[in-house]
Chains A and B, each alone.
Chain A
Amino acid sequence: MKRLVYLLPLAVFLVIAVYFAVGLTKDPSRLPSVLINTPVPKFDLVAIQGRDRGFSSKDLKGEVSLVNVFGSWCVACRVEHPFLMKLAKQKLVPVHAIDWREVDRTAGPAWLKKFGDPYTLIGDDPRSKGAIAFGVTGAPETFVIDADGVIRYKYIGPMSQQIWDETLGPIIQKLRQSGAKP
């Protein structure tokens, strides 16, 4: 009996180690979204100042695209911004945007003017209607949408070349190859 007490720390540690091992196989920045593999719910966002077109769920049909959630208040968005500019220049995939929770309608356009505008379509989303449709938890967040308008992947946090090369790029490649059904 007394022996068992001495074995207890080892047992507890081993249990923790097993959980660590499982934990290592998961990417902590990839929160699963309940909406993965479901079509984007209907939304229709108005244009931001200085653009004549808004952004709606209909725009997502026909080709694989990215939807990036940003806001001028979001610090991490500024971190990923140079990469998005690069992506836009290479024209690899259309990148749409949801300009989320701007207090002031001029803030988003001013931010894009200052740092550059990489987006194909932008919807103004001060009331989080679009964000709710996508199940956004925070900004920046980027969704991969297939040609049928189905959400295929959600990346949380600032994008970078590495994430593009290792994750988003291959997913988009696969979606394009397999047509609409991966």
Chain B
Amino acid sequence: MIAEVGHFALVLALLVAMVQASVPMVGAARNNEVWMALCRPAAIAQFLLVALSFLCLTHAFVTSDFSVITVAQNSHTDKPLIYKISGVWGNHEGSMLLWVLILSIFGSAVAFFGSNLPPGLRARALAVQGLIAVGFYLFLLLTSNPFERVIPPPMNGNDLNPLLQDFGLAIHPPMLYLGYVGFSMAFSFAIAALIEGRVDAAWARWVRPWTMAAWVFLTGGIALGSWWAYYELGWGGFWFWDPVENASFMPWLAGTALLHSSIVVEKRNAMKTWTVFLAIVAFSFSLLGTFLVRSGVLTSVHAFATDPGRGVFILLLLIIVIGGSFALFAWRGPQLKSEVLFQPISREGGLLLNNLIMTVAAAAVLLGTLYPLFLDAIGGGKVSVGAPFFNAVFIPLMVPMIAAMAVGPLLSWKRADLGPALKRLWIAAAAMFVMVAVTWVLITDGPFMGLVGVALATWLGVGTLVSFADQIRLFRAPLPESLSRLRRTPRATWGMTLAHLGIAVAIAGVTGAGAWKIESVQVMKPGDKVTVGGYEYEFKGATEHPGPNYTARRGLFIVSKGGKVFTVMEPEKRIYPVQNMPTTEAAIHSTLWGDLYAVVGDPQGTEGGFVTRIYFNPLVIWMWMGGLLMMFGGFLSLTDRRYRIGAPTRRQAGAAPVAAE
């Protein structure tokens, strides 16, 4: 019964979304206020209905109602409660329901907080949101109904894919979707702006916080995904340039570009068409990500459930949404005039460079991801494009980008001199040379890329601190003045500084784990010892342990350094009997300078030997610390007064035209 309520709520949500997509749009065209005003109650009603539907599905999972196919296929009575709940979105149907739930959350947020928006813009943006929602409701109801019943119901369920029974992965999809779907806001506002034929600073200020929020979540989602891959897949790696990882990375690159270009729209009233274009691109990449994961066009480790029938539907949706918006862009885009021409050496010039590199990078990832598909379609056979391609493309792009990233914040708007900015960065250059020299002496046989990474991370990290010090005139003004400037530093500046530092820290992490990783694979019997990265691992054997819905083989390592016991590590290999599938639970001991990482494998031989893999991953934790810094920076920037929702009108009320700021 409850499942039917959920199904019915979803059908009602579809009807509401149809109204939301049409009536306010027509109202905006005819300047009919009543019709336009309908967008708000519609968005809120849609949210309530989808939320009800989502709760119904959650109820089915929590109570293990196996008469619902989705539950029967993805849950089991023995599963811990948290994974029953995360099982709601651990499958295709439920994850799509989560997608529309998040879409409706964003829509109702506009309805709630958007009282200061111009009514026409609000009506059109929400109508576009409604249109996207209609597409996804139809997709859910026609091809992936999460509430479908099965008669007779099975005695017990098939269990969730054991790889997904993990805390990191339980919260990974919601984070990622908040990012993906969050870009729909920028998209809807971009389409609304194209229809209105107007983009101004107020528009940019409206779009920016939504883009920022989406970016923070997407950053978190990607970081969580790589963290999961790191500790769960047991290879000691964290990024595989897998199509699905790329699918989340492309919107991130486009979204990062969008964040930076919208600053130029806001401050200089320039790069408008470009910003609108990026807003469309960022969301298109999000949709593409959904398509790639769900259609089975590309195979990948993530393709848990692929179905070409659904693929056709999503492809149609893509053609309507992306093709339609690019057609609109081609038609209306030329009318969005940017008034200002600008100098290459200026803050906006730096932001433009950032945009160009980010876009080229996103295009390169797109090409690398789709190349196998292109080749297959023209009969060229199956190939896969892996890390070598992406490394070859990415490193040359990132070097100039990072080099410029330290300089950009030191440049002023409109016109700047490169000389003084570079002069202020002397300390960053000096630090860079010292760090490279130290690294070279300490690690004599490391790859050259390691040195490049150290150089980039140091240059950017110190350079960012230099520009922050410059901002508060540290050492150039009396200390009290610097302190008072520090207090008055806008949160957006803090956010930028932290996010850029985050990039520097993350580069250090990627460099450490990529260039200087130590790996050792061997068969160990109880009592055997092996030394990896200066730590001595003594294998004490492996024992069997029952878990709630699995049995685990747990290995025991006593790790010592310099003769003293340092830590105890207990990696596990779990077998989930329902799906008869093993998972690897690596034992990880993180230190600031590197992770100790141990995996126990299958028994080998007859004398109690086991295959063990032991890694030392230098600096790897820095990567996620960098991710956290970026997220925190983005969050701080979100709380900046200027971007606080409603700020645009309060400023407008002051009679001064907004664009003049």
Residue numbers of A with Cβ under 8 A of B are 2-3, 6-7, 9-10, 13-14, 16-17, 19-29, 31-32, 73, 75, 78-79, 81-82, 103-104
| CB <8 Å contact, B319 and A17 | yes
Given A20-B291, A23-B297, A75-B581; A13-B312 close (CB under 8 Å): no
Interface: B147 (CB within 8 A): no
| CB <8 Å contact, A28 and B327 | no
| CB <8 Å contact, B315 and A24 | yes
Of residues 258 through 317 on chain B, the ones whose CB sits less than 8 Å from some CB of chain A are 273, 277, 280-281, 284, 291, 295-299, 306, 308, 311-312, 315
**B contact residues around A79 at 8 Å (CB):** 579-581
**B contact residues around A78 at 8 Å (CB):** 580-582
Cα separation A45 to B281 with both chains bound (whole Å)? 56
| CB <8 Å contact, B298 and A28 | yes
- Extra 18 A-B pairs, beta carbons < 8 Å, given A9-B277, A9-B330, A104-B604: A6-B334, A10-B323, A10-B326, A17-B319, A20-B291, A20-B297, A20-B318, A21-B315, A23-B376, A24-B311, A25-B308, A26-B376, A28-B297, A28-B298, A31-B382, A32-B382, A73-B602, A79-B580
Interface: B605 (CB within 8 A): yes
How many whole Å from A19's CB to the nearest CB in chain B? Answer: 5
Q: Please tell me the number of chain B residues within 8 Å of chain A, measured between CB atoms.
A: 40
Interface: B370 (CB within 8 A): yes
Say what secondary structure dominates the interface of chain B: helix
Residue among B306, B381, B382, B605 facing the most chain A CB atoms (10 A cut-off): B382
Of residues 390 through 449 on chain B, the ones whose CB sits less than 8 Å from some CB of chain A are none
How many whole Å from A169's CB to the nearest CB in chain B? Answer: 19
Cα separation A17 to B363 with both chains bound (whole Å)? 15
Interface: B389 (CB within 8 A): no
How many whole Å from B618's CB to the nearest CB in chain A? Answer: 30
Contact of A82 among B311, B334, B580 (CB under 8 A): B580
How many whole Å from A57's CB to the nearest CB in chain B? Answer: 26
Cα separation A23 to B291 with both chains bound (whole Å)? 12
Cα separation A31 to B382 with both chains bound (whole Å)? 7
Look across to chain B and name the residue whose beta carbon is closest to the beta carbon of A7: B330
Interface: B377 (CB within 8 A): yes
**A contact residues around B329 at 8 Å (CB):** 6, 9-10
Cα separation A3 to B333 with both chains bound (whole Å)? 9
**A contact residues around B582 at 8 Å (CB):** 75, 78
| CB <8 Å contact, A17 and B333 | no
Interface: B26 (CB within 8 A): no
Cα separation A29 to B515 with both chains bound (whole Å)? 34
Interface: B322 (CB within 8 A): yes
How many whole Å from B275's CB to the nearest CB in chain A? Answer: 14
| CB <8 Å contact, A24 and B308 | yes
